[in-house]
Structure formats: C-alpha cells, structure tokens
Structure 1
Amino acid sequence: MQTYGNPDVTYGWWAGNSVVTNRSGRFISSHVGHTGLICLAAGGSTLWEFARYDPSVPMGHQSSLFLAHLASIGIGFDEAGVWTGVGVASIAILHLVFSMVYGGGALLHAVLFEEDIQDSPVIQARKFKLEWKNPDNQTFILGHHLLFFGVACVWFVEWARIHGIYDPAVSAVRQVNYNLDLSMIWQRQFDFIQIDSLEDVMGGHAFLGFAEITGGAFHIIAGSTPWENKRLGVFSKFKGAELLSAEAVLSWSLAGIGWMAIVAAFWAATNTTVYPIEWYGEPLQFQFNVGPYWLDTGDLSESTAFFGHSTRAALSNSHYYLGFFYLQGHFFHALRALGFDFKKVPGAIGNQKKSDLITIDS
C-alpha cells in the first residue's frame, strides 16, 4: 500500500487490503474466505430463486439469475428435455457445504497457521510468500492462477462435449464438440458479441484453456530456475521489476475484473446463443443518457422481480456499472502505484483558487 514516505503509517478499518499486504498467510485467508462467501451467496440465492420459481411465467421475467445460468449449461432438465429443476437443489446445497469448507480453511489460515507463509515449516508453502517487487515470485504465483483458469476452461469444454449444454437453436440440451479453428477464433475476437455457434464458443474455450495451461507452466518454470536468472536476467525489467508493488498488482486485478464485467454486459444484452431468450428474456435496447444503459424490449407485464425488468436487463446493467466502478478503482490504485499523492489534491485546488482571487484583484 502507498505510504507516501511514512514508514509508520496506519490505515483505517476500511482499508482492508493493508492488513494482508505483507502477511501472505492472512492474504490466503482472505482469498479463501471470499471464495466461501461467493459459494454461500450462490447456494443460498439458487435455493431462494428455486423456491420462488413460477413455471407459468417465463424464467427471464423472474428473479432467475442463478437458475438461468444453470439452465444454460444444461442443468435442471428431465429425460424428456423439459426444464423441471432436476438437480438444482443438490447443486445449491453442495455450494453451501463448500462454503463451510472454505470458511473453515479461512479460519485455519487466520487463526492457526502462520501469519506469513515465509515462516511455514512446509517447504512447498514457502514458495508462495509475497515479494511484491520480485517479478519471479509474482510470475510463479501468476502461473498457478493460470493453471486453475485453464483447467476450468477444459472442464467446461468437456462438460459440453460429454453432458451437453442448452442450444436455443434446437430448444434442447445437446452435446457440443469444440471447433478448434484458429482463424475462426482470431476473427471472433472482433465479433464475439454476434457469435451464433456453440461449437465456436467451445472452440474458443478449448484454445483459451490450452493457452492458459501453457502460460501457467511457463511462468512457474521460467520464473524460478537458476538458468533463467543467470541467462535471462536482462528480462527482469521487461517482466515489470520496476513497476511491481502491492498497489500495482491490485490495480491490474481491478482492471481485469472491470473490463470483463463491461464486456459481459454488452454480450449479455444482445447475444441470444450464449444467453438464450428462454432463460434471460428478450434482447435489450441500448440507450445513453447520463451514462449507457439497456432497456427491455419485451412485454414485462407479468414480471415478478427486478422492479419489472427482465433477468437480462438486471444482469447487463449491474455488470456494466460494477465494471465501471472497478475501473475507477483501477485508475485510483494505478496512480498511487506510480507515486501520485492524492493528499496533495485539496491543497492544489486551494492554491488554484487563491491564484484566481489574486488575478481578479489585480
């Protein structure tokens, strides 16, 4: 965290990141705890939506964010291919159970285990100590993150291939094989919002999974070998040695999640292949007043949630504005990482007002 040259700086209770910045054990505790909260919210919200679900009203016109996502990946259908919610409660309860497991892990790391992993008796654990300005340490940790993301992509591809996902083109759950056409994947970078083939969607995920696993392995190996340090030490600056800090890493994380949220907002608002009308409601109309937003285009007279709006409208608008504020957090922390002192801003404004008064008087 930015200390503005004061080594004894103290932070308020609201500056939660400062508590874990130099305590890798507590840093892991907060991560695991957040994961537990996400699982709790997912499981509880799914049960809440399922209990309120009315089969006589389109799912996209109800409070069905979680049900819609489950239906999109082919969960909740009976043997005849009709959505009945089969298995939804089991998945929700499983999330609740995992939330308790994650909560227990968070408490262990917060109370019982070492405050700093560097002090751990486990040799492998000590490799994950936090050295914010050490590019090898940061890329080593990044590599493991990429591995997990890659495995998640591969799992999704295999789920679609073996179990099947919902295809709105045939109004049924079907098995989808991935189309690993690199030229198509390259072109889809520029028109992904208009994508209308589930095979292309899976092909993109397959390629992304391969890229993330390969990149993860590279970062784990290349960032921690003596050969790299001796022969490729010249690349330390290229890897961000002079830019790395806890504040910088936080800013990049906020930029990534903010950008993904905004992309998801535009995608969810108009795409009906990945976000079927059956589960999310009709495509939205883009508007701009003080800021951009999306309006419903269908008849929502029977809507039972979201203040009379569809699931698609709630999903798109909430993602956009959350992404917008995440990006503001990115700019704030990025400027702090570069050394900008926000505490000087009020003084600069005050000096400017005094200068204006002097000019007027003269």
Structure 2
Amino acid sequence: MKKIILTGGGTAGHVMPHLALLPYLRGKNYHIDYIGSKNGIEKKLIEKEGLPYYGIASGKLRRYIDFKNFTDLFKIFFGTIESIFLMHKLKPNLVFSKGGFVTVPVVIAAWLTKVPVVIHESDMTPGLANKIASRFAVKICTTFESTLAHIPASKGVHTGAPIRGELLLGEGHKGHVYTRLDYNKAILMVTGGSLGAHSINDCLRNSLIELTKTFHVVHLCGKGNIDHSYDYLEGYRQYEFVGKHMADLYAMADVVVSRAGSNTITELVALKKPHLLIPLPATQSRGDQLLNADAFEAFGYSMVLQQEHLTPETLMKSVLYLHQHPQIYSEKMAEYAFADGTKHILYTLEGLLPQE
C-alpha cells in the first residue's frame, strides 16, 4: 500500500486543502497519516476525519526581532528530530505540505530520510515557511501562475487550488434549516477565517441595525468571538465555526464578506458568489492578502474594501452594490477556468509515487 504523509497547520486555511484531496486519496486506497502541531486547530479538524494524527514541537520564525525567534529555533530542532523518527516509523512514499511553520521540521526530516516532498503555495508570493521548505521539495504546486516567477523553474507546477468537492454540492434550503432563517430577505454571510477578524466583527456588529433591514446576516466570527448581547436581534446568526454546514451556508448566501486568504477566494470564485474582500493590512501580515485581493479585483472577480477604509457606511454601501449588481461579478467569475486544482495536484502527487 502506498503511503502519504500530509502536513500543514496554524490556521484552517492550511488544512482545508488537505480535506479537499482526502476523498480522492482514500479512493485510491492510499494510507494517509497527518503530522501537525501538538495543539493547533489542525489537530481537531484532522481527528474528525479519522486520520492517524501525530503532533510535533513547532516554532515560528518571525520577520522581526523577537526573543521568541531564538527559543523557537529549539522547537524547530526538536520537531525535526521527532519528524525523523516518524519518517522511519511510518515509512511514507511521499510528503505533501500545505504550509504553516509546523511543516518546516516535517519537510526537512523527509529530505534527510530521502522521502520526496511536494509543497502547495496558495498565495501570490511564497510565505516564509514555504520559502524555507521549498529548498527541500521536488515539486511546488501553485494556485496562481504568477507565483512561478518566485520559485525555481524546475520545481514549479501551476495547478490551481484544491477545492473541497462537498462545497460544490451545498443545498441552500438546508442552510435555512440550520440557521432558522426564513426566505424573506437576502442572505449576507460574513467570515473572518477560522481565527476570526476583530475589525470585521466589530464593524459588522455596528452595522447590524441597518444591514438587517435588507439582509439576514450569517456571521462566522471565529473561536471565542461570540457576542451574546446581539442574540436579541432577529435575522442575525453568529457561529464560531460551522464545519460540515459550510457548503449549505455558501449555497444559501447571496453576498459574502471575507478576508482575502487564497483558499477562501478560490472557493468563492468556484461557487460564483458575489463577494467583498477585506484583506489583512500590511501592518498585520506580510501583505499576501493584499496581493491576492488586488489580483482578483483586477480580474473583475472581486470587490475590495481596504481595512483602513472599513466603516459601517462603506460596508453597507459595498454589500448593497453587490446585492443589486451580482451579474457584474458572477459573469466574470464564470470565465475562471482554473478554479479547481484538485485533479492537477493529484496528478503531480501520483507522478512521484512508486509505480506498481
């Protein structure tokens, strides 16, 4: 039996692409193991799928001076030692890495034990973890063709992003049942990602009185961000995380507001959902979401509102425009031919597995 180790973590965005591949890998009867951090969000998500999960020590390398950079080097070292033992124990034929700092020890250990590594880079430019890991990879799959300019030509493969098949099969009426919202108003879905987005959460809640005159609002606010003081408001539903219900919520949504993580954008484009992107500003990130948002806005797929311009008034104006003119964006999104990269990534992986 062919064996594959999956690795990635830190946010749900580093895990969900694995879940998109999982049904196909299982269908091929591959044995799948997962290596992640000891207590990251990936542990809960992967264990729900019934996969063997192995937690290792992991640290983060920051782009600024911080004493934790020194202490985290030791975590990365111990994580690499743990990963080497796991490579010998699990004997994989291939490692597929989706990014996040927990993947660095895993990729290094695979290289040291001569296990081929494939990386997937979701953003326009590689993040620091993938920049390090790319030195040890044999292939680097990319969501965007322009990313190929930032990686070695011999390694780069433009595949697109893997999209969970179940997202394309959502049923809007089930979303209405789950949220207990009627059909009298359009549905506005707002998400800040698995960890939440405080600026979006605050602005949305300050806008609810006006927004709920036009929309029912479904708010995915992130872990620990439920605010029960708004429970009285009819037409507003808030959830930390919705898991298996996400496909049905997407299906019933008329307009979506989101951060500009690559995985979320490609899902929205594949579903042809009119959407407003509010990318993380450069002060809070390395700027990858700004690049993603700029590109999708230039393609005509997305409306973008920068966080520094985010107010209840600009939020209301933007979502109303999307609701009133959805065809402007949905027609452009229909032209996006490379929306689902699942099969392209599988082809790349299978090309590196031993042939029977």
TM-score (norm 1): 0.21
Task: Point out the structure with max Rg over C-alpha.
Answer: 1
Q: Which structure's residues are more often helix, by fraction?
A: 1
Q: Which structure's residues are more often strand, by fraction?
A: 2
TM-score (norm 2): 0.21
